[in-house]
Amino acid sequence: MVADIPQALAYDDVLLLPGPSSVLPRDVDVAVELAQGVNLRVPLLSAAMDKVTEGEMAVAVARQGGIGVIHKNCTVEEQASMVERVKRSESGFISGPVTLGPDDPVSRSHELMRRYRISGFPVVGTDGRLLGVVTNRDLRDDADPAKPVSTYMTSEGLVTAAVGTDLETARKLMQTHRVEKLPIVDDDGRLVGMFTFKDIEKIRAYPNSAKDLKGRLLSAAAIGVGDGMLDRAAALVDAGVDLLAIDSAHGHSTGILEFAAKVKASHPETALMVGNVATADAVRACVDHGADVVKVGVGPGSICTTRIVTGVGVPQLTAVMEAAEAAADLDVSTVADGGIRFSGDMVKALAAGATAIMVGNLLAGTDESPGELVLAGGRRYKEYRGMGSLDAMRAGSADRYFQDSGSKPEKMVPEGVSGLLPYRGPVADVTGQLIGGLRSGMGYVGAQNLVELAEKARFVRQTAAGSRESHVHDLDVVHEAPNYQPG
């Protein structure tokens, strides 16, 4: 009987063999298509966790070429407005700008500025014609909140451009006329869209952003099952979400699968990610129920106690390999979720066949993660918690673990913990190291792109002694490296 038990491996159990290579790290291609319309420039997702991905993180990750999955421990309105924030953050050409009517009060303009973090609006009449532009420069502190915006808007000598104006022409026009917004109007003077100078500058600053066909950053958001979740999905789709993620600790369960089929039937055009799973059968079940992407990982997360509390799970390398093989047969993608501690783990996950990876821990200590810095013993930290921790479940994630959020805390059975992480600076620093490590790994393997990485990968197993040898040993680290934390 014992002999029949299959063995499963974790990332740290293996290494990749170096192969013949004429590939330089800087020349490799790390782009992937996660699902139709969801083209990533780097194979990275940030976790749908309330200490990891809100609007700011989602924008930051998309600017680096990945996609952030906005968590759902908040109201539908809050989550949808975070998606909108991502979609509006830098779109180059904004085809449906937020507008005001001439009679809207100044207070409404302030409200919208705060909500969308934008600095001004075109003002249009009921017939859609552009009447003026109002920006925060027009609305100084002494602007009366009750007065109509027409009192303060600029309407004389408006700088506008015709339909079809390209990005560079728009930039030059705005520079020449020293304006920050360039409304695009048709022959009848109707507003068709708008460029903003800030957006164009950001496009130049983040050339590797992951974008949709309209040039807007990609966004993803989590939903659960149960009351109101179909409405939540609809609100997120209305807000422009590119990828819906059904977030569960056990994706291979009837309730999740049936719900996935309903979501797919309601929103066939929106890419759907379902998880989490750890077996090939589960991948097939998810795909049978509408998944375009299957998320893999039962128990590898840094804050996760599922395997300890329930005795269930699969070491992540094996889970990824089995899932990726099944997914490849069905022509869908997989995301290796959880347990990525170093960039080398990312290389191993992708070499094992995952289309992309998802991280929580590595991004939770950054500037863009939700929450304040905590000072302890002279060092800076940020809080990180599992969605199966008691605190997070009370805040709304109990359904991920098939528990009732109304239960008394002492009745809940947590599958996660909370803790502090060292502060890690901006997201761009972390992703720079991760992708840099990936590129170097591909160079060693001799893989020009991620498909080749999976094809050429040859793993060897390492013993505990091998793992010890792989890690830093026999010295006290004095100057920490930005991509290596001991133990």
Of 199-207, 298-306, 427-435, 460-468: span binding ligand RVP (CB under 6 A): 298-306
Of 35-43, 184-192, 320-328, 355-363: span binding ligand RVP (CB under 6 A): 355-363
Q: Is 12 in the site for ligand RVP (CB under 6 A)?
A: no
Q: Which residues of 147-179 are buried (b: 16+ CB within 10 A; e: fewer)?
A: ebbbebbbeeebebbeeebeeeebbebbeeeeb
Least CB distance to ligand RVP at residue 139 (A) = 42
> To 10 degrees, the CA torsion angle through 193, 195, 199, 203?
100
Q: Is 359 in the site for ligand RVP (CB under 6 A)?
A: yes
Which residue in 98, 45, 74 sits closest to 397, CA to CA? 74
Q: Would you call the peptide bond into 361 cis, given omega within 30 degrees of 0 as the criterion?
A: no
Q: Is 43 in the site for ligand RVP (CB under 6 A)?
A: no
3-state secondary structure labels for all residues of 196-254: EHHHHHHHHHCCCCCECCCCCECCEEEECCCCCHHHHHHHHHHHCCCEEEECCCCCCCH
Q: For ligand RVP, which is the closer residue by CB, 93 or 401?
A: 401
Beta bridge partners of 337: 358
Coil vs helix vs strand at 430: helix
Q: Is 58 in the site for ligand RVP (CB under 6 A)?
A: no
Please pick, from the candidates 282, 387, 434, 445, the single residue that binds ligand RVP as defined by CB under 6 A. 387
Coil vs helix vs strand at 486: coil
Whether 137 is a known active-site residue: answer no
Q: Is 106 in the site for ligand RVP (CB under 6 A)?
A: no
Q: Report the length, in residues, of the chain.
A: 487
Of 22-30, 197-205, 327-335, 337-345: span binding ligand RVP (CB under 6 A): 337-345
Q: Which residues of 365-386 are buried (b: 16+ CB within 10 A; e: fewer)?
A: bbbbbbeeeeeeeeeebbbbbb
For tokens 């050339």, name the residue: 207
Q: For ligand RVP, which is the closer residue by CB, 118 or 340?
A: 340
The token pair that represents 269 in the structure block: 């055009």
Please pick, from the candidates 43, 240, 338, 353, the single residue that binds ligand RVP as defined by CB under 6 A. 338
Q: Is 303 in the site for ligand RVP (CB under 6 A)?
A: yes
Its sign, for the CA torsion 422, 351, 307, 297, is: positive
Q: Is 66 in the site for ligand RVP (CB under 6 A)?
A: no
Q: Is 276 in the site for ligand RVP (CB under 6 A)?
A: yes
Q: Is 248 in the site for ligand RVP (CB under 6 A)?
A: no
Which residue in 11, 4, 55 sits closest to 321, CA to CA? 11
Q: Is 365 in the site for ligand RVP (CB under 6 A)?
A: no
Angle CA 303–305–308, to nearest 5: 150
Least CB distance to ligand RVP at residue 471 (A) = 18
Residues belonging to the binding site for IMP are 302, 337-339, 360-361, 384-388, 415
Q: Which residues ranging from 392 to 451 are in contact with ligand RVP (CB under 6 A)?
A: 415-416
Least CB distance to ligand RVP at residue 167 (A) = 36
Catalytic choice (88, 304, 424, 439): 304
Q: Is 46 in the site for ligand RVP (CB under 6 A)?
A: no
For the chain, how far is it from start to end, CA to CA, in angstroms? 35
Its sign, for the CA torsion 68, 69, 72, 76, is: positive
Please pick, from the candidates 14, 34, 49, 273, the single residue that binds ligand RVP as defined by CB under 6 A. 49
Q: For ligand RVP, which is the closer residue by CB, 208 or 310?
A: 310
Its sign, for the CA torsion 289, 295, 296, 299, is: negative
Q: For ligand RVP, which is the closer residue by CB, 112 or 309?
A: 309
Whether 400 is a known active-site residue: answer yes
Number of residues that bind ligand RVP (CB under 6 A): 23
Its sign, for the CA torsion 407, 408, 412, 418, is: positive
Please pick, from the candidates 339, 353, 437, 443, the single residue that binds ligand RVP as defined by CB under 6 A. 339
Binding mask 193-232 for ligand RVP (x = CB under 6 A): ----------------------------------------
Please pick, from the candidates 360, 365, 437, 441, the single residue that binds ligand RVP as defined by CB under 6 A. 360
For tokens 């026999």, name the residue: 474
Of 133-141, 338-346, 375-383, 467-475: span binding ligand RVP (CB under 6 A): 338-346
Q: Is 389 in the site for ligand RVP (CB under 6 A)?
A: yes
Angle CA 452–454–460, to nearest 5: 125
Residue 336 CA: distances (Å) to CA of 58, 105, 120, 456? 18, 49, 41, 19
Please pick, from the candidates 183, 240, 290, 297, the single residue that binds ligand RVP as defined by CB under 6 A. 297
Least CB distance to ligand RVP at residue 328 (A) = 22
Q: Is 242 in the site for ligand RVP (CB under 6 A)?
A: no
Residue ranges in contact with ligand RVP by CB under 6 A: 47, 49, 276, 297, 301-304, 306, 337-340, 358-361, 386-389, 415-416
Catalytic residues: 304, 400
